[in-house]
Amino acid sequence: MTFGVLQFPGSCDERDALGACERVGDARLVWHEETSLGDLDAVVIPGGFSYGDYLRAGAIARFAPVMEAVRDFAAGGGPVLGICNGFQVLCEAGLLPGALLPNDGLRFLCRQVDVEVVSAASAFTRGLEPGAHLSVPVKHMSGRYFAPAADLDALEASGQVVLRYAAGQNPNGSARDIAGVTNEAGNVMGLMPHPEHAVDALTGSADGLKLFAAAAATAVPA
Amino acid sequence: MRPAALVASFLRVKARVLIRPKEGILDPQGKAVERALPALGFDGVRDVRIGRLVELEADDASHLAELCEKLLANPLIEDYEIQELG
């Protein structure tokens, strides 16, 4: 099981993401100018401020050469996890539904939150207990999940809302407390909280590791 | 000037693209500015909305709408308006 962690100019969480992946499998960094993903079994798009968040967070990164390869990989059913800025990139690329708007409080947020597992049908939550809580940090300026009401209804009906902020803990005004969503097939997932910063009890919680472990456990052997 | 270059110089446009948060979408920046105004004595200012202004020159104006849809604006959350300046 080999994870690839993308690296754009302005990424800043790729090292922690790499470390998280290495706890459950092999992992390597993938530079944004690469056009092939080689033999990777899963892709992680890490947090940060790709291309300085110019225009809109994630708007420029979606045009990076590596994103063509990610698009093909996702279309073939390969597991792709977008964390924070990675979530924003996947939404801008149209690989995930919705958009991330500036936090309703207009402040940069950095705090530990509880999120609830809503669906265990995605590549990164398979095997988790729906209703279980995970303690993971958020740290973002534009994390307010938005989609038109009809789209939100459809996402909920099809089980694509995979994580919600626990009751009373929605930090940014996200619609319906949504913290993470998947594509229709369930192989592409994005979330604003940072599971890669919660992989060791020494830092307060190892709950984030469960998402990486789920992907490793369900990877199709090459 | 070669004919092709001459034609291109006629087609070239300067344009201004105004990008706004869609109606109904909370704009916290606008709200923050709105709340700050009374402190300066400016009462009675409502519905402050903050967007972006992009100025550009294009060799071919026919692509402007497409490039707005694909990059300058996110149509899910933003409206855009193209003003050709000639």
Size of interface A-B (CB pairs under 8 A): 32
Is residue B86 a contact partner of residue B14, using CB atoms and an 8 Å limit? yes
How far, in Å, CA of A134 to CA of A165, rounded?
A: 10
Tell me how close the Cα of A105 comes to any Cα of chain B, in angstroms. Answer: 7
Span A134-175, pLDDT tens digits: 999 999 999 999 999 999 999 999 999 999 999 999 999 999
Amino acid at B14: K
pLDDT at B2 over 60: yes
pLDDT in tens, A165-201: 999 999 999 999 999 999 999 999 999 999 999 999 9
Determine the Cα angle at A221 with ends A25 and A187, to 5°: 80
pLDDT of residue B1: 64
Q: How many domains does chain A have?
A: 1
Q: Which fold has domain B3-84?
A: Mth169; Chain: A , (3.30.1280)
Does residue A210 have a pLDDT over 90? yes
Contact status of B32 with chain A (Cβ, < 8 Å) = yes
For residues A17 and A29, what is the distance between their CA atoms, to the nearest angstrom?
Answer: 10
Q: What is the enclosing helix (H) or strand (E) of B6?
A: helix B3-11
B26/A56 touch (CB, cutoff 8 Å), yes or no: no
Domain that holds residue A87: 2-218
Average predicted confidence (pLDDT) for chain A: 96
Model pTM score: 0.93
Contacts of B67 in chain A (CB under 8 A): none
Contacts of B52 in chain A (CB under 8 A): 55
Each domain of chain B, given as residue ranges in start order, spans 3-84
| Cβ–Cβ below 8 Å for A55 and B71 | yes
Question: Which residue bears the tokens 């690329």?
Answer: A93
Q: Which of B61, B68, B59, B62 is nearest to B17 (CA)?
A: B68
At A4, give phi and psi (nearest 5°): -115, 130
Chain A residue with minimum CA distance to B22: A148
Q: Which two tokens stand for residue A210?
A: 């469960």
- Residue A198 sits in a domain of what CATH number? 3.40.50.880
Would an 8 Å CB–CB cutoff place B76 in contact with chain A? yes
Give yes or no for a contact between A205 and A101, defined as CB atoms under 8 angstroms apart.
no
How large is the average pLDDT for residues B38-50?
94
Q: Are A107 and A143 in contact (CB under 8 A)?
A: no
What pLDDT, on the 0 to 100 scale, is given for residue B48?
A: 96
Q: For A45-49, what is the mean pLDDT?
A: 97
Whether the predicted pLDDT of A8 surpasses 50: yes
Residue B24 has pLDDT above 70, yes or no: yes
Residues of B within 8 A of A63 (CB-CB) are: 71
Residue type present at position A15: R
- In angstroms, the CA A85 to CA A57 distance is 7
pLDDT score recorded for residue A222: 43
Cβ pair B17, B53 in contact under 8 A: yes
> Which carries the bigger pLDDT value, residue B7 or residue A104?
A104
